[in-house]
Amino acid sequence: MTTMTASEIELVTLADIESAARGLAGVATRTPLLPFDTITERLGVPVFVKPEMLQRGGAFKFRGAFTYLSRLAPAARERGVIAPSSGNHAQAVALAAKLFGVPATVVMPTTVTPAKRVGAERLGARIVLAGTTTSERYEKALELAHLEGSTLVPPYDDPAIIAGQGTVGLEIASDAPQVGTVIVQVGGGGLSAGVATAIKERVPSARVVAVEPAGAPKLSRARAAGRPVRLDKTSSIADGLMAIEIGGLPFAHHQRYVDDVVTVDDALLAPAVRLLIDRMKLVTEPSGAITIAALMEGLVRPNDARPVVAVLSGGNIEWDGLQELLARA
């Protein structure tokens, strides 16, 4: 098999993202931009957050999942869908399947948090547990899809998924057309790829910075190598960002549209979660708060006086886990 280079891959376009936005109108929540005065005062430039914990399913993932299901042939959709996920993608697919009235199975890690498992079950999904890594979940999902005739909904490495997640960036560009810096988390890369594409196509002068855990530096390693690199292992309390390898299609988008990538230590995440609760009254999981941690620690600095927007990707964290996390802060 011949491997395509990044320059040969057909990228998701702004028109694709705009089409996804039309399909999500009246279905997905159009989350607002909220001013974060505490960090604005610290940095001296306007800082806003994009609170995707207010999205249906508690995270940005619903945008991509619904877009993907909406583009399936009706016969394929009716046979059911299956999704490998650490949690947020599982809930998003379960919700999208419920809206379409089709069965959903989600393959989650044996270490899945109670909040994310219960969330998917509450939405009617059948739960299958498999291993602790992205590859183990994906292989199990492929096996079940083959046996049962269901359609696998990829978590990030797919044009429809990227287009759906890119609507986050489209909304940012619409609400803050003078934005100077956008900070977005990167796991498998679907969100960061879509957001970067929308921002750069709508506001070419804006800077896009991707943020990932120090214990899962899959994009940093890929950019250094010029190609996706599979990590031997990942470790982070930001469980939604622990993919062991950046997706091929997302990586092509990152190479074209992302200006920089920074890594954040786990020790910085709990204080960011605490700050968001104290000052913004927003409950954010560590994966969602990582962008704020990067700003708080000066890992990302504004280039000029234009506004900064930090994406908060989700808020699916159970009460016991939140209390433990806040105790660390």
Could you give the residue numbers annotated as active site? Answer: 61, 313
Tell me which residue of 153, 91, 155 sits closest to 121, measured CA to CA. 91
Is residue 83 within 8 Å of 104, Cβ to Cβ? yes
HSE-CB of 182 using CA atoms within 13 angstroms: 37
Beta strands 181-185; 207-213: pairing state: parallel
User: Distances from the Cα of 3 to the Cαs of 6, 8, 218, 247, in angstroms?
Assistant: 10, 10, 19, 13
Distance CA 156, CA 327 (A): 33
In this structure, are residues 257 and 17 in contact, taking their beta carbons and an 8 Å threshold? Answer: no
Is the CB of residue 183 less than 8 Å from the CB of residue 49? no
Distance, CA of 282 to CA of 274 (rounded, Å): 9
CA distance 126 to 105: 5
**Cα separation of 294 and 43, whole Å?**
13
